[in-house]
Structure 1
Amino acid sequence: MRLNQYISSSGFCSRRQAERYITADKVLVNGKIAPHVCFVTEFDHVVIDGHRIKNTSQKVYLLLNKPSGIICTASPAIAHNIISYLSYPERIFPVGRLDKETEGLILLTNDGSVVNELMKEENNHEKEYIVTVDKKITESLLVELSNGVDIYNPRKKDYTRTNACPVVQIDDYTFRITLSQGLNRQIRRMCRHFQYTVIHLKRVRIKHLQLGSLESGHWRYLTEEEIAGLQR
C-alpha cells in the first residue's frame, strides 16, 4: 500500500496532509526518512512527529484464475508479472506460485499470516490439479505416479521421492492429481520421468479453496467462510 494511503487509512490525517508530511521529511519508515514514493505493509514501523501510525485497513484476499503467460512475482521489473496484470489498487502479493505456463487457482493477499500458514511444508495442505499429457494414459502410469516418483531436486543436488498421492483418470489423456508437496515443477517432472509431456496444467483447489466456474483471467474476493478456513 502507498505510504500516504497507509497513513490516511489509520485516521491520523487526510491523504493530502499525509503527502505534506512525507514531502517535509517528517515521516519515518522503519527508522528512516520515507522517500516521496514509498510502499509499506502492516509489518513496517511508521512514525510521524513521534506518533506511531497503525493501519486499520481491511485485509484483502483475492482468488485469481491465472491464465498461461502470467508470472507469479510481485517484481515490477519482470514483464507479465501478476501484480501488473491485476492492477489492484492496494498492495497485495501472491501466495506461492504457479509456473508461467500453468493456469488456475492462486491466492493473493496483504495478510502475511496467511502466507506463513499456507507455505509451511509441514502443514501438508492439499493442492489439486487437472493434468493433460501428450499420449494415452496407462494404468501403470497412474499407479507409479500415486506411489511416488524419484525426481532430481536441484536445491539439494540429489533425488527426492515425491509423496504418495491420489491420482484419478478423467479420460484417455487427462487425470486429476492431489499433492501435499510443493517441489519446483513437480507434476511436469513426475510425468517426464515416465516419458510423458504435460501439455496443459491447471490448479483447481488449494486446501478448501475451489476454483469452481471462475473464468480464466478473472478474480473474486474470498467469502467470510473461506477466510475463516485459512486459519484452521
Structure 2
Amino acid sequence: MTSTKERLQKVIAQSGVTSRRKAEKLIVDGKVKVNKKVVMELGTKVSPRDEIEVDGVRLEKEEPVYYLLYKPRGVISSLKDDKGRKVVTDYLGEVKERIYPIGRLDYDTSGILLLTNDGEFANQLMHPKYEIDKTYVAKLKGIPSKKELLQMKKGVRSENDLLKAVNYKILEVDKKKNTTILEITLHEGKNRHIRRMMDEIGYPVTKLKREKYGALHLQGMKSGDCRPLTPHEVKQMRHLATDKIVKQ
C-alpha cells in the first residue's frame, strides 16, 4: 500500500487475494471489514494503517511480485493438484509471497505463463477488452489452404463459443511429413482455444507453445526456467493495457 488513501477494492486486488471486480462483489456482499466494521460502500478509501479483513481473513501487506515461467508440457497451471502432478509453483523456488498464475496454459501446452500476487495487474492482462497479444506456435497435422486458415480470423464455432485468431503466419510446411507449423496470435484465450479451433477446421494440433505475451518473450530461457519480471517489463505490460483502453 502507499502512504495515501486508496479505494478499498484496489487495495484488496493489489494484495493478491482476488481481482478488483471480485473484490467489489465481496464488498457489496458484506464480506469485507475495515477496522472490525463491515464496509459495503464501493467508494470507501483506506490507508495503510487500516486493518482489512476479507471473508474473515486479515489482509497481509505484501509487496507486489511478478514472475515469468517457461512452463513445460505436462505441468498443471495451478497451485496444487489432487492427482499429484507437477504444478507451476514447483518451478518457482523459494517465493514467499502468495502468487498465482495469470490465466492458464493447458496441460499439454508449453510457453510463457505469468504469475503474480497483484490482482489488479492480473485482471488487466486477462480481460479480453485490454486486447493483449498472445502469440503461439502450433504444429498441425495436415496442410491447410489459405481459405481454410482465413476461417480463424472470421471465427469458428465450437461448443457454443466463437473462437477467433487476430492473425496467423505460416512458418513451415513439410509435404513429406504432411505437417504445418503456424504462428497464431490471440487476444482472448478460451479453454483449449487453438486446439478446438483447429479441430473444427480439420487440422489437429500436435504441439503448441506460447512464445510471446505482449512485450514478453522466451528468448534465452529453457523449459522450466523462471525469472522475475523487471520493473520496465511490468511497466510495459501495464502500458499495453492502458494504451488499448485509450484507443477504444
**TM-score normalised over the length of structure 1:** 0.70
**1:74 aligned onto 2:79:** yes
**1:89 aligned onto 2:95:** yes
Larger Rg: 1
Q: What whole-Å deviation, never above 9, does each CA across 1:39-71 have from its counterpart, x for those lacking one?
A: xxx9x947xxxxx9863x532111111000110
Distance across 2 between alignment mates of 1:133 and 1:221 = 32
What SS is found at the alignment partner of 2:222? coil
Contact 1:147/1:165 (<8 A) preserved? no
User: What are structure 2's unaligned runs of at least 5 residues?
Assistant: 1-34, 37-47, 174-179, 240-248
Further displaced range: 139-148 or 199-208: 139-148
For these two proteins, the number of residue pairs brought into alignment is 180
**1:228 aligned onto 2:235:** yes
Deviation at 1:88, TM superposition (A): 3.4
Contact 1:142/1:169 (<8 A) preserved? no
Distance 1:77-1:203 versus aligned 2 partners, 3 A rule: same
**What amino acid sits opposite 1:146 in the alignment?**
K
Distance 1:193-1:223 versus aligned 2 partners, 3 A rule: same
Q: What whole-Å deviation, never above 9, does each CA across 1:88-114 have from its counterpart, x for those lacking one?
A: 331211110000000000001111111
**What amino acid sits opposite 1:134 in the alignment?**
K
**1:198 aligned onto 2:199:** no
Deviation at 1:76, TM superposition (A): 5.5
**TM-score normalised over the length of structure 2:** 0.66
Deviation at 1:75, TM superposition (A): 2.9
**1:59 aligned onto 2:64:** yes
Distance 1:230-1:163 versus aligned 2 partners, 3 A rule: same
1:25-174 equivalences in 2 (<5 Å): 45=52, 55=61, 57-75=62-80, 77-79=82-84, 80-90=86-96, 91-152=98-159, 159-163=160-164, 165-172=166-173, 173-174=180-181
Deviation at 1:143, TM superposition (A): 1.8
Contact 2:109/2:209 (<8 A) preserved? yes
**1:188 aligned onto 2:195:** yes
**1:218 aligned onto 2:225:** yes
User: What are structure 1's unaligned runs of at least 5 residues?
Assistant: 1-29, 32-41, 47-51, 153-158
**What value does the CA root-mean-square deviation take over the aligned residues?**
2.5
Deviation at 1:164, TM superposition (A): 5.0
Q: What whole-Å deviation, never above 9, does each CA across 1:104-139 have from its counterpart, x for those lacking one?
A: 000011111111111212222211100001122332
